[in-house]
Amino acid sequence: MNLETLDKQYVLQTYARNYTNFVKGVSSTLFDEQGREYIDFASGIGVNSVGHGHPILVEAIANQAKKIIHISNLQVIEPQVKLAEQICKLSNYDGAIFFANSGAEANEGAIKIARKYGETKFDKKRYKVITLEHSFHGRTITTVKATGQESFHTPHFSPYPDGFSYVNEIESIYGQVDDETVAVLIELVQGEGGIEPFEKEQVQALAKFLKEKNILLIVDEVQTGVFRTGKMLASNHYEIEPDIVTLAKGLGGGVPIGAVMTKHKDILTFGDHGSTFGGNYLSSSAGLAVLDVLSILHDSGVLAKTLSYFEHKVKVIAHNYNHLFEKEVGLGLMRGLRAKDSNIVSSVLENSMNEGLIILKAGRNTVRFLPSLTITTDEIDEGFRRFEKAIASI
């Protein structure tokens, strides 16, 4: 049987898959089993932050696998401790970190911290969390409910946990706060919601208001974190220090890892939370290698040049093809083109794949680009050459 037949027989069909079989990746170029190459502007939905086969990441994984892959979190794990220190220092954040395996788990941890904060820090229990419409926070029962998209709240998985409410814009949060509100959970750039950054002044005003009310600000940086926007955290651009930050995706360069970082270091105590695999030797060693590569890229100015070059290319497309796209949106290497309707997005994705370019879609009719942060100028040029061929006939 061929691969597609086997997949459909033995793998639960929760994805509308493309059945191109990739067998090798080098930098931001993938190769299928026929040897055809594809420029990767998706990086595994923002996961392959240092591209495919980066020698420093490969060496770190291989060397660690030869020694210890995993022990339990009942013992101290040296690379985990070092990774926590590195994340805090690069983020300029006075916090402590719990490691998990994914963004959804990181957000679960953030919600648990908020709930315990609401239980222990007030005379009357607080438990409500406000999120934004068009947000996305994960696929577990709780993080699906935290996601502010009604299409995710299907009756198939109900009843959902209570305590979550949604507003359509930051300015509407103020009127939603009551004496049971414990936290506000936002993305500074909504990954699944259209790739449009919020205004800096809006976010700063919200952070100030929440601090005055002793309400926690949780920033979901699962997609925006780890230099995706040009700084370690998108929060650094906004010059705020959230109470809780969640990370995942690009942190392990492809090895599963999630992290919840909080300045409220005393909230969780022994037995409150745990993870069998979270922050084990392999994943935390991968994370250290990724941060070594990306911090050098950032400090050298190379990352800023790559971000600027890619942004310019997207702006040119938006200008030259304004019959298809309303505008370009995004921050750093998290970019999008807002299409005039959903049919355009579907055609762009299909045509791009046929031309050997991997891209993504996001909500609000957006074509999404999430290339690796180590992508070369030649790969960017070739990718947009293929993109223009893909959209020329639409």
Bridging pattern class, strands 128-132 and 181-186:
parallel
pLDDT of res. 393: 87
pLDDT of res. 219: 98
Q: Does the pLDDT of residue 1 top 90, yes or no? A: no
pLDDT of res. 338: 97
Distance CA 353, CA 356 (A): 5
Helix (H) or strand (E) holding 99: strand 96-100
Q: Does the pLDDT of residue 257 top 90, yes or no? A: yes
Domain ranges (residues) in the chain:
56-299, 301-323+336-372
Q: Does the pLDDT of residue 155 top 90, yes or no? A: yes
Domain 56-299: which CATH number of 3.60.20.10, 3.90.650.10, 3.40.640.10, 3.90.1150.10:
3.40.640.10
**Could you report the per-residue pLDDT of 221-250, keeping only the tens digit for each?**
999 999 999 999 999 999 999 999 999 999
Q: How confident is the model at residue 364 (pLDDT cuts 50, 70, 90)?
A: confident
Distance CA 361, CA 355 (A): 17
**Could you report the per-residue pLDDT of 63-80, keeping only the tens digit for each?**
999 999 999 999 999 999
| Nearest in space to 42 (alpha carbons), one of 34, 56, 52, 32 | 52
Q: Strands (DSSP E) along 275-333, which ranges?
A: 325-331
Helices (H) and strands (E) in the chain, counts: 13, 15
